[in-house]
Chains A and B, each alone.
Chain A
Amino acid sequence: MFTQAHGYPGKLIIVEGMDGSGKSTQIRLLYSWLESQAYPVFFTEWNSSQLVKSTTKAGKKGKTLTPTTFSLLHMTDFADRLNYQILPPLKAGMIVLADRYVYTAFARDVARGVHPGWVRKAYDFAIKPDLAFYFRVPTEVGVERILSGRPKLKYYEAGMDLGLATDLEESFKIFQGMISKEYDKMIKEYELIKIDGTRDIEAQQAQMREIVGKALENFKTKRRNYARRNKVFWRRFTLPEDE
């Protein structure tokens, strides 16, 4: 249940913010720091499970995704990752870092037109994070960062499916503005910790580490050195593929 504390021995820390807010940079820095402190850490990212990857890709390519199927596909991806990437490490007493969480859906899908009440109820199976950081930047700043660093915007990324503008960049700006508004509404609703994403990277990271450090005061689990391998919590039973 999304409204209650999860009660597992691990900690769930998530970052949110619009595209170009710097949240991914910050959570990766946090990851390095926690690892260096010998905490057992696991990292998971929005829209990354194998299950629906090819479906999402095909839907985006064929432009057949609607606001509702877009939302449901991301929800499916999230459910799959919750079960295999978020809950097991939390139960095992690890720190789980998530780049984007359900708030991304609450902001983006609602900006796309789905009902805010529906998407919130549908995500009720999610668990409440221990710390949720929201990196806030003015829309122009985020948009500028993305546009200067990326060769071409994609159709759905720019919100072209909404028919806001005929030009990709123009549509992207309007869409990001709408998303930003939705995020702002959630700060109070979900007690998001607001970080000013226009400050220096170092200053933001220092602020983040102070808050996380406090939250981990009584957290004793330390990592031991096993074989250096990727962390996995489940293995699929498969036959070896023929060459």
Chain B
Amino acid sequence: MNFDVIIIGAGVVGGMAARELSRYDLSVCLLEKENDVATGASRANSGIVHGGYDPEPGTLKAKLNTVGVEMLYEAAQQLHVPCLHNGSMVCAFGEKEDPAVKELYERGQINNIPGLKILTGDEARAIEPNLSTAITSALHVTNAGIICPYDLTIAAVGNAMDNGVALKRNFAVSAIEKNGSGYTVTSAKGETVTGKYVLNCAGGYSDKIAAMVGDDHFTIIPRAGEYILLDKTEGSRVSHTIFQVPSEEGKGILVSPTVDGNLLTGPTALKVETPESRDTTPAGLEQVQRLAAKSVPSVNFRQVITSFTGVRSSEKGGDFIIEESKKAPGFVHVAAIDSPGLTCCVAIARYAVDLLNKAGLILTEKANWNGNRANPHAFREMTDDEKNAYIQENPDFGKIVCRCETVSEGEIRNAIRQNPGAWDIDGVKRRTRGGMGRCQGGFCGPYVMALIAEELGIPMETVTKSGGDSYMLTGRIGE
């Protein structure tokens, strides 16, 4: 089939672009090299809705951040993605750092960010009593928030699919050729897809994709950030997201509640070889703990649930690169989307669609577009009486599979059946939180594997953790 638009990369930007394009009378295909969406930078990052005080005035980042915050909140609501308007604080430790808070405040004024306020250390501690006594001033950012990045991506892709977008997974782009009316995109396995226009949203690989059409003017620098996630018992240490002003040790480590009620600390910033470099390191985890304790000394790191590494795609220019290729007409790059990329994802998507439009893509709004998505977490949010009534009709929802996060069989089956369905264990985890709690899938792992096998009609032995060679079992006993 010849699509109007091909999107390469189902991260939060690709997913949001797919959703934006699904508003129009177009055929759209979203290509993803992995077994699921949101497996790159959108899988593991801080999940922050940034206020917009930070980007250099005049940059694309500043422009899109300022307009992007409200767009994101609106999209999150339509997509039923939990999003918390909790505000943030950027803290200074001592006289030497106080001017940095003032500088961020002033930059925020230039960027036209509402609701910024400079607090003294005591004022900050009056709002967040667990903050360190070493904090001397803080920038209070009231429009900031938190959101789950993969939840948002899954929802965006799902809503796009509900509105007719095709998702092709395990399609690793290996070649792109110009054909008469557009481009032929070939996968490593030799499958081809053709499209009149292409959006390159390939994250850590966006430079490689660009090079396939002759663009070599930017190079992605993958930077790893290590995080430590703590149990819900630590989730209320702070209610705001607590940042540190940049210092010699880097941009600082944040301490933040998550939308699920856990506490997140991190990230480090380490240049790594490839976007797949997701190792955690002793030095990194030590740094996260030490610097998190600098802001909030009472964080109890004995309550660690897991540690992980996310990889951001930076570029030496420091700004987003969103442009039509000069060598390949109708081919638009959306690259170097590092922080505040999540905050800007809707604004970026609209900006990119606008570029496609300027390149000739005709946008005719569909009459029946539905930007609202059914709430996949509806059951979780019900009262006991509502659950009781629901279980009478749907008994699978009565069977709890993940006891740590109280996730039922019905919710897991739904996650496998929904748009885009979970095809592996990590996919179930990201959609339902099943296996994400204290025991980390110790009890529910085998049950989840059996449900995946049954729903997808595949043998147990072929169930994977995250697609590809991530097999869980090596065979049947005695065979």
A binds B: no
A residues sitting closer than 8 Å to B (CB atoms) are none
B residues sitting closer than 8 Å to A (CB atoms) are none
